[in-house]
């Protein structure tokens, strides 16, 4: 994500918010022209719940250049309490803690350092919830 992309995603990164299709409920990080799932043009701004469960995850060992310093890192597909599914980087876990279906919660973390401009980018990542009940 270069700087323009980063700013475009600010409401998602800082508030865990985005746009939900009024017709089919698909979640979009920023307001699209048409829904990628149903082509509807009606969207409502939503704030997402900060917790959910991990549906699936993958550990990235050979990342794109801009994320090299973070490797290895884990990306999870998360289903939030309201049913919204999002992809997010995972953090604060021990490798043996990651399993499908564990509860996860959002935390605010440094996402990466943008090498060219030296900008430190912050945003949400998800970690295993302290309470797994």
Does 34 help bind Zn ion (rule: CB under 5 A)? no
Size of the site for Zn ion (CB under 5 A): 8
Of the pair 43, 57, the CB lying nearest Zn ion is at 43
Binding mask 36-55 for Zn ion (x = CB under 5 A): -xx-x---------------
Radius of gyration of the chain (CA): 15
Q: In angstroms, what is the minimal distance from the CB of 17 to Zn ion? A: 18
Q: Which of 26, 70, 75, 77 binds Zn ion (CB under 5 A)?
A: 26
Q: Which of residues 51-110 bind Zn ion (CB under 5 A)?
A: none
Distance CA 9, CA 31 (A): 10
Q: Which residues pair with 27 in a beta bridge?
A: 20
Cα 101 from Cα 18, distance rounded (Å): 24
Beta-strand runs (E) in the chain: 17-21, 27-28, 43-47, 51-60, 73-80, 85-90, 103-114, 119-128
> CA 39 to CA 4: how far, in whole Å?
25
| Shortest separation between residue 42's beta carbon and Zn ion, angstroms | 8
* Least distance to Zn ion, CB of residue 75, Å: 24
Distance CA 113, CA 42 (A): 35
Query: Least CB distance from residue 76 to Zn ion, whole Å?
Result: 24
Residue numbers at the binding site for Zn ion (CB under 5 A) = 21, 23-24, 26, 35, 37-38, 40
């Amino acid at each position: 994500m270069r700087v323009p992309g980063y700013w475009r995603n600010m409401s998602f990164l800082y508030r865990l918010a985005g746009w939900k299709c009024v017709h089919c409920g698909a979640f979009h990080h920023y307001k699209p022209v048409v829904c990628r799932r149903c082509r509807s043009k009606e969207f409502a701004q939503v704030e997402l719940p900060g917790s959910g469960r991990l549906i699936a995850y993958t550990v990235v060992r050979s990342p794109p250049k801009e994320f090299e310093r973070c490797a290895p890192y884990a990306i999870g597909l998360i289903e939030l309490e309201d049913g919204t599914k999002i992809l997010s980087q995972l953090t604060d876990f021990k490798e043996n803690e990651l399993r499908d279906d564990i509860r996860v919660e959002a935390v605010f973390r440094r996402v990466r350092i943008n090498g060219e401009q030296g900008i430190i980018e912050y945003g949400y990542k998800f970690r295993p919830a302290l309470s797994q009940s």
